[in-house]
Amino acid sequence: MRRYFRRMSYFSTLVWPIVLALGIAFLAVTHPQWPRSWCIAAFLATLILLPGVLLALKLTSTPLTQERVTFLWGRAPGIIVVRRESGEEDRFYHQEIFTSFAEGKIKQGDTISLHLLDKDIVRWEKL
């Protein structure tokens, strides 16, 4: 289950609730004997609650990793280039780190710690 939600895209966390809500609306129209208030409540719950539940399941199944990297340089607007401990260079978009580089708080060759959620920087600190 965890593996499924890790592979699930952020786009599908929005598409599935919309498809289900349209299915509920179709069933409500084709079955007029069903209580309207229940159909409306199910429709709204599908559109409001289900995306939040799916997004929470996706975020909790994605592991948070911590890496020590060497800062190489920054490119405008907000692109930073780092070298991992394995020697591989990687690019990330993070405006706060780029601003620190532009202000001179971080220099080329400094070691920083990145907390990554998938490929996004959640938190960072200079070591």
Prediction pTM value = 0.59
Q: Where are the domains of the chain?
A: 2-61, 64-126
pLDDT in tens, the chain (127 residues): 777 877 888 888 889 999 999 999 999 999 999 999 999 999 999 999 999 999 888 888 878 888 899 888 888 788 888 998 888 988 888 888 888 888 888 888 889 999 988 788 888 888 8
pLDDT of amino acid 46: 95
Q: SS3 for 27?
A: helix
CB atoms within 10 A of CB 57: 17
* CATH superfamily to which 64-126 belongs: Nucleic acid-binding proteins (2.40.50.140)
Q: Which two tokens stand for residue 94?
A: 């993070």
